[in-house]
Homo-oligomer: A and B are copies of this chain.
Amino acid sequence: MNGERVTIVDVATRAGVAISSVSSALNGRPGVSEATRERIVQVAAELGFVPSLRGKSLSGRRAFTLGLVLHRDPDVLELDPFFGGFIGGIEDAIDPRGYALVLQISAEPDEVLQRYEKLAADRRVDGVFVNDLEVDDPRIPVITRLGLPAVAVNPGADFPLPAVRQDPDDGIRALLQHLVGLGHRRIAYVGGRPNMTHSVQRERAWRAGLEELGLEPGPVVPGDFTYLAGASAASTLLGLAEPPTAVVCANDLSAIGLIAQAQHLGVDVPGTLSVAGFDDIRLGTYVRPPLTTVHTSPRELGRHAGRLLVDLIEEGVAEDVRIPAAELIVRESTGPAPAAG
């Protein structure tokens, strides 16, 4: 660690607490016990961590750029629903404060890690955004070791970096209530990429929601957030001895693929099969039937992530943000369950 750069991560690590706790403790906000607050203040003092002064003293050396390294195949970026809104939101927040966004795209996981190393080594950026989080994401120890200020989007619980979150639970619970209200009892699930935090969160919300309603979880078909995975899931589910009457998909794109393939197989949506997505991408309003889904807010997430990262760089602290939960949007791809056959 470079002696000049005592960061909030150092304080959190030394004190054995989350960064958000350090932020709360040093800003006199609730959320930490008095004992913890005292320990954090003491550790910060020992390490010489003085948030606002540190921000000022470093200002002459800043790049005034923030990094976003996307781990995707550049050829398929075209269909990503999250990307445009999220970047637009970051811009909304950082441009008025004098920062610009450096964007990098890598298809290979190892290259992603190298990019962070290089951005830090070249002092190319003052901080980074971390999205598309994986379970046990290998980027986190690298970013922490590099001492790069960082803000994460939708990580799991007990995450060591400041984060913006939008919970899927309420939206999925409302969706399941909607389907059960329409008479559905066999409600299947088509998964997203299994190693991604948001896949895990959404599937867990589906399972918990059904349990709350006293129903057995229906069949689960693994997926990967793509149109093709949705289409393939349609064939799998409709080929079952007892097919579901409704399907919840991990995202809109796979729901749209599922509907197209169901229709191709002569199955009416929603007459025979109700289908719902997650994300509320624009395409879902164009397809027929228009897609019932859960609305998320990539632009809002981007705005808060941008604000948090600049706060973290300039003030040395940033508080976690939880934006209003994702919300159910009922359109025409869900309808009454067919009479039992």
On A, residues with C-beta under 8 Å from B are: 64-65, 72, 74-85, 87-89, 91-92, 95, 100-105, 119, 124, 227-228, 231, 257, 260, 263-264, 281-283, 286-288, 299
Q: Is the CB of B88 within 8 A of A84?
A: no
* Chain A to chain B contacts (Cβ below 8 Å), 6 pairs: A72-B84, A79-B282, A80-B84, A83-B84, A100-B102, A102-B103
Q: Is the CB of A103 within 8 A of B105?
A: no
Q: How far is the CA of A327 from the CA of B288 in the complex (A)?
A: 30
Q: Is the CB of A103 within 8 A of B78?
A: no
Q: Which 8 A-B pairs have the closest CB atoms?
A: A74-B88, A77-B84, A78-B84, A103-B103, A227-B286, A100-B102, A78-B81, A88-B105
Q: How far is the CA of A264 from the CA of B287 in the complex (A)?
A: 10
Q: Which residues of chain B come closer than 8 Å to A299, judged between CB atoms? A: 74-75
- Contact partner of A103 (CB less than 8 A), chosen from B72, B87, B231, B264, is B87
Q: Is the CB of B85 within 8 A of A74?
A: yes
A89 to chain B, nearest CB (A): 7
Q: Which residues of chain B come closer than 8 Å to A287, judged between CB atoms? A: 260
Q: How far is the CA of A260 from the CA of B105 in the complex (A)?
A: 33
Q: Is the CB of A101 within 8 A of B100?
A: no
Q: Which residues of chain B come closer than 8 Å to A92, judged between CB atoms? A: 74
Q: Is the CB of B286 within 8 A of A76?
A: no
Q: How far is the CA of A134 from the CA of B84 in the complex (A)?
A: 22
- Contact partner of A104 (CB less than 8 A), chosen from B74, B101, B282, is B101
